[in-house]
Every structure is written in structure tokens, then in C-alpha cells.
Amino acid sequence: MKTVFAIHTGPVLVDVFKKLFPELLPDVRLVNIVDDGLLTDVRAAGGLTPSVTRRILGYGMLAESSGADAILNCCSSVGEAADLLAQTVGIPVVKIDNRMAVNAVEQGSRIGIVATVATTLDPTERLIQRKADEAGRSITTKRYLVDSAFDALVAGKPEEHDRLLRAAIEKAMDENDVIVLAQGSMARLVPSIEQRVPVLSSPRSSVEALKERLGL
């Protein structure tokens, strides 16, 4: 049985992946590493810090030494630390938003980025632009930040989170060809949205990408 270690910066997506793995990777063992101080520190600093990067590297090396066959990075705000981790360990490192960014570039030239955490905007935008460059496509991006929605979710108010976020997504759909939900925690809204343009979220597509990397 293959083993995947998932590195989380908070508890929000743990249950999401616990449901996705039996569906998409039923014969893969999932081990979750949760450090809820990582995102707190990133938000306080306004971006990725050397300390957070070292911790991501440390967790990744721990995963490799513990027998992991792959690592899933579950937070877009620390995605660039995961890029460095991929150069450090000898096993695949899959970023939660990588496949989503590829899909976004394939589906439109005007890409709306909806985020509930400000520190996710820059790395997500850079990732999408890099994927566009690799594909030889010209794109524009537009940002939509709803930071109060994340605070509501953490405070145990999912209905308020959904209400605030849905309004931003509706606005973004009017102004773009495709929408990217920059936090995996937003994926829960997708089934309830009437999609006038594609609205992309990251958890399922990241597990599909992980499945390919594992050769399953």
C-alpha cells in the first residue's frame, strides 16, 4: 500500500481529503500533518516567512523518512515553500492548486481569483501566470478578496462564510471567463453555484493529479 503525507496549515481540509481519498485513491494510506500555526504566522507576516518555509521543509523531510510515497501540500499560501520542498526530497510533491491553475489557463484568458486569505493572492496569481507562460497563453487576472469569510469559517459560522463568498463569486463570474477559488475550503460551495462560467476548486483536482503522479 502506498502512503501519502498531507501537510495542512489548519484543520479545515482534513475531513475533505479523508472523503476524497477513499473515492479516488482507495488503496492509498493518508497521513495528515496539521500545523495550525503555519497559516497564522503567514497571515501575521503578510506572506511566506523563512521560519514557515523551514517548517514545511521539515515536515516534508519527516514524511519522506517515514516512508511516504508522495507529499500533498494543502495550502496555497505556502505553495512556494512546497516548490522548494520538491527540490529537497526525492518523492513527488503535489501542490493543491497546481492542477487547478493548469485547468484555469486552458479554459479562459480572463481569470478571476477569489480568495478568503490575502496571503494566497500573490502566490496563486504567480502560479497561474507561470502556467500561462508554459502554455504560451496570454491571460489577465483579477482579484477578489473576502477575508471576512475566512474569519467566519474559523469562528464556526459556515453560513456567513458561504453568504459572503457567494456574493464575491457572483460578481467575479460577471467579469471573467473562468473563476479560481484560491482556498480549498471554498470547494464546498461549488455544487450550489449556478456556473455561468467555470468555477474551479482545488481539492478534487489535486487528488486526481496525485493519482497520476503515483501511477495509479
pLDDT tens, position by position, 131-180 = 999 999 999 999 999 988 888 888 889 889 999 999 999 999 999 999 99
pLDDT band (50, 70, 90) for residue 121 = very high
- Return d(Cα 163, Cα 160) in angstroms, integer: 5
Q: Which domains does the chain have, with CATH numbers?
A: 2-96+204-213 (3.40.50.1860), 98-202 (3.40.50.12500)
Grid look-up 479523508 returns 18
Inform me whether the pLDDT recorded for 122 exceeds 90.
Answer: yes
Q: Among 123, 116, 102, which Cα is nearest to 166's? A: 116
Q: Among 178, 186, 166, 183, which Cα is nearest to 102's? A: 178
Mean pLDDT across the chain, nearest whole number? 95
- C-alpha torsion angle, residues 191, 213, 139, 119 (rounded to 10): 70
For the segment 48-65, the average pLDDT, to the nearest whole number, is: 97
Exposed, middle or buried: residue 152 (CB in 10 Å: 0-12, 13-18, 19+)?
Answer: buried
Quickly list H helices, 76-202: 79-88, 98-107, 121-135, 147-154, 158-175
Quickly list H helices, 138-215: 147-154, 158-175, 203-213
Inform me whether the pLDDT recorded for 109 exceeds 90.
Answer: yes
**pTM exceeds 0.85, yes or no:** yes
In this predicted structure, what is the pLDDT of residue 78?
Answer: 95
pLDDT band (50, 70, 90) for residue 12 = confident
For the segment 30-50, the average pLDDT, to the nearest whole number, is: 95
pLDDT band (50, 70, 90) for residue 99 = very high
- Return d(Cα 66, Cα 114) in angstroms, integer: 36
DSSP annotation of 67 = T
In this predicted structure, what is the pLDDT of residue 21?
Answer: 98
CA atoms 184, 106, 190, 22: torsion sign:
negative
Bin 61: left if φ > 0, else alpha if -120 < ψ < 50, else beta.
Answer: alpha
Q: Lay out the sheet containing 93-95: strands in order across.
A: 28-34, 2-8, 70-73, 93-95
pLDDT band (50, 70, 90) for residue 69 = very high
All residues at 6 or more sequence positions from 138 whose CB lies less than 8 Å from its CB, including other chains? 109, 132
pLDDT band (50, 70, 90) for residue 185 = confident
- Return d(Cα 77, Cα 67) in angstroms, integer: 26
